[in-house]
Chain A
Amino acid sequence: MLHRESGVFKTSYAADMALYPLPIARWAVAAVILLFAVVLPLTLHEYYLSIINLSLIAVVGALGLNILVGYTGQISVGHAAFMSVGAYTAANLAVHLHLPFWVTLPAGGLMAALIGAIVGIPSLRIKGLYLAIATLAGQLIIEWVINHTPAISGGAQASIEVPRPTFMGYEMKTQGQLYFFLLFFAALATLATLNLVRSRIGRAFVAIRDQDIAAEIIGINIFRYKLLSFAISSFYAGVCGVLYTYYFGIANYEAFQIGVSIDYLAMIIIGGLGSVLGSILGAIFVTMLPIAIRLVMEPLGGLFFNAGELSSVIASTRLVLFGCLIIFFLVVEPEGLNRLWRNIRNYFRVWPFSY
Chain B
Amino acid sequence: MSKSTSWRTATIAAGAIALAAGAASAQDKELVFGLQCDRTGATQTVGIYLCPGYHDYINLLNSKGGVEGYKIRVMEIDHEYKVPPAMEAHERFKKEGAILEGVYGTPQIAALTKKLEEDKILGTSPGFGNSASTDGKRYPYVFPLAASYWSQAAAAVTFVKKDLGGSLKGKKIAYLFFDNPAGKDPIAILEDLSKSEGFELKTFAVPSPGVEMGAQVLDITGRYKPDFVIAHLFGRSPSVSIKEFKGKGYPLSKVISLVWGASEADIKAAGGYEVAEGYHTLQFAGVGGDFQVIKDINAMYQAQGKPAPKEQETSVFYNRGLVIAALHVEAVRNAIKAKGGAKPTSEDVKNGMEAIKGFTLGGMVPPMEVTREDHEGGGWVQVWSVKGGKLVKDGEWFQAYRDVIKKHLAATN
Contacts and interface: CB of A to CB of B under 8 A. Distances in A.
A316 B107 CA distance: 22
A107 B201 CA distance: 40
Contacts of A339: none
Contacts of B80: 319
Contact of A311 (B55, B118, B412): B55
Given A47-B91, A47-B95, A248-B114, A254 B179 contact: no
A156 B114 contact: no
Contact of A249 (B73, B83, B114, B185): B114
Given A157-B132, A252-B107, A47 B37 contact: no
A247 B114 CA distance: 10
Nearest to B133: A157
Contacts of A316: 39-40
B40 to A, nearest CB: 5
Contacts of B185: 156-157
Interface string B29-70: 000000101011000000010011001100100000000000
A46 B110 contact: no
10 contacts: A50-B88, A147-B180, A156-B181, A157-B181, A247-B87, A248-B112, A252-B110, A290-B85, A291-B85, A315-B39
A291 B85 CA distance: 9
Interface string A299-330: 00000001110011011101100000000000
A340 interface: no
B84 to A, nearest CB: 5
A255 B83 contact: yes
Contacts of B216: none
Contacts of B40: 315-316, 318-319
Interface string B73-89: 11011101011110110
A256 B388 CA distance: 43
Interface in A231-268: 244, 247-250, 252, 254-255, 257, 259-260
B55 A308 contact: yes
A264 to B, nearest CB: 12
Given A50-B88, A315-B39, A248 B59 contact: no
A54 B84 contact: yes
A283 B84 CA distance: 13
A248 B55 contact: no
A249 B114 CA distance: 6
B215 interface: no
A274 B94 CA distance: 39
A312 B309 CA distance: 13
Contacts of A290: 85
Interface residues of B, number: 47
Interface in A118-157: 144, 147, 155-157
A51 interface: yes
B59 A254 contact: no
B91 to A, nearest CB: 4
10 closest cross-chain pairs (CB), A and B: A308-B55, A249-B114, A315-B78, A311-B76, A254-B107, A50-B91, A255-B83, A47-B95, A248-B111, A315-B39
B188 interface: yes
Nearest to B73: A307
A308 B59 contact: yes
A250 B40 CA distance: 25
B115 interface: yes
A40 B381 CA distance: 50
A154 B97 CA distance: 35
A156 B187 contact: yes
B92 A47 contact: yes
B181 A158 contact: yes
A245 to B, nearest CB: 10
A45 interface: yes
B55 A156 contact: no
Contacts of A156: 181, 184-185, 187-188
Nearest to B207: A144
Contacts of B83: 248, 252, 254-255
Contacts of A147: 179-181, 184
Contacts of A155: 412
B151 interface: no
A255 B111 contact: yes
Contacts of A287: 84
A259 B52 CA distance: 27
Most buried by A among B37, B76, B106: B76
B113 interface: yes
A175 interface: yes
A342 B208 CA distance: 42
B385 interface: no
Contacts of B184: 147, 156-158
Interface string A27-59: 000000000000000000111001100100110
A209 interface: no
Nearest to B119: A174
A287 B83 CA distance: 12
Interface string B382-413: 00000000000000000000000000000010
B192 to A, nearest CB: 13
Nearest to B51: A311
Contacts of B92: 47
A290 B94 CA distance: 19
A157 B130 contact: yes
Nearest to A54: B84
A349 interface: no
Contacts of B107: 252, 254-255
A173 interface: yes
A47 B113 contact: no
A308 B56 contact: yes
Nearest to B62: A307
A167 B110 CA distance: 25
Contacts of B88: 50-51, 54, 291
Contacts of B130: 157, 159
Nearest to B115: A249
Contacts of B187: 156
B52 A308 contact: yes
B80 to A, nearest CB: 8
A157 B139 CA distance: 15
Given A47-B92, A311-B74, 7 more contacts: A46-B94, A54-B88, A159-B181, A249-B114, A252-B107, A252-B110, A254-B181
A203 interface: no
A38 to B, nearest CB: 21
